[in-house]
Structure 1
Amino acid sequence: MNKTKAYQDLGTINPLASLVERTNNFLYGFWYNKHITQKQYEKLKVNKEEAELAHLYFLQKAHKPGTPLRPIMSGLKSPTIEISRWLDSLLRPLFDRIAINTTVKNGLQLIQQVERWSTTYLTPATLFVTMDVTDLYTMIPQEGGVTAIKKLMEASGLKQIDGVKKEIILALTRFVITNNYFYLDGSYYKQIRAYRYGFLLNPDDENGLGVNGSGVYSTTTTTAFYH
């Protein structure tokens, strides 16, 4: 946490009530101005009696030297979780369609793609290079994530998805990305850099949505160079 500077320590000030109120007010404004339907508003608004801040826990990376820890933010009852899920349902099919030829979801798919690729491109001079991106999910700029979604839609020529305008999708994305809070060991924290692992087009593998400031690409862990 100290290394990446991705989290702001809020001390003992619990931001939950404020986040619930801001989230519901934000959604109400979209409903009032007819940017989302009544049904969508009812689905996305927060029940303050059930809402909880996310909790941070850690999983060991047993396959890496020194057994580092991977931080996992569990936010199943987070005030923004329904917005996040809804946005993912809108954008995931679009992303999958665009990235179908460049995304590797697991090791089996990697082997299958390499086998197909090898029939044409694999030569004795081919060099396979594996890379490990350190702190990937805390290195992606928050606004860069919004920009990536914008470029994703622009690349598809879409101004809306399922009746929801691009501007509304981007505003909701920005709200979710910039309002990640969690509790750990007696203190509350706000994520001020990047966004939580597992959020929006960011699956539990190394092939999620990447941002380079100028476009959208699929991050992969294996690259082949040939000459």
Structure 2
Amino acid sequence: FKQYSDHLLDYLNQSYFTPLSYKDQLISLEQAQILGSIRRIIQNMNLIIRVTDKGNNFYIGSVGQFEQKAENFFSDTNAFIELSYNPFNEILDKDGIPVRPIESTIHASTTKISKFLDKILRPKFYDKCKDTTIIDGASLITELSKYNKKGLLKSTTLFCTFDIRNLYTMLPQEETLDILMAFLHAHDYKIGNSLPFLDVQLTNNNGILSTCVYHKPAAEPCVTPFTSDHPRHVFSNIIKTFIERATRYSSTFEAFNYERRSIKLMLLYNEYPSTFIEN
């Protein structure tokens, strides 16, 4: 321990007390100026910056819009109230404290226990729920094909999809089902002979199931550019993935051929050579 302590002390002295080189001083000064400029912009334009809970990205927006979104979320869920004091200053198990602490346990000591239990329980869950569980577009097509082979897909069969805007799910099961029924009756949802689900376009052609790849209208034709600094196999895998998806999702040769042309145009747009695409 004494050796480790001395080594750590030497490292701290070297890191924090050794004078910076002239180059490092210039870099530090430039970064400080950039940081000061960002702070002034945030203050002058009344902006707010927050780290998103997924993807390690940043949310940048006006303070007013951010506060309005927070108020809308609170009113929609009806699960939170604004506190005028810090509840942790009191005993947490005292009756009447309106707070439910949420802790991040990604790196907690119980994480491995959770993974161990998940490894045991997940196969049992899949075994019981596999007939009603959709994990991706391919599994959806497989289940719909079974449905069609049973003669259940009629010319009058309609598809229904809807988006969940709020993932707050701390509700009893019966109450959740009641809310779902109320949602279907009161809110906007899509019903028709042809609808997208995930990345699959489903179409009922007079009782005949037709599928193809679905692209969101706002989707940009962007993939990893061929000029980027990646190993060659990365670009090959990108092409392979798109072609495999087109093959699995296309119920007709025309649909596959259309998707194949779209893939080629997208790759050309991202500077993939024609010879590399064809090979």
Q: TM-score, normalised by structure 1?
A: 0.32
Higher helix share: 2
Higher relative contact order (CA 8 A, sep 6+): 1
More strand by share: 1
* TM-score w.r.t. length of structure 2: 0.27
Which structure is larger by alpha-carbon Rg, 1 or 2? 2
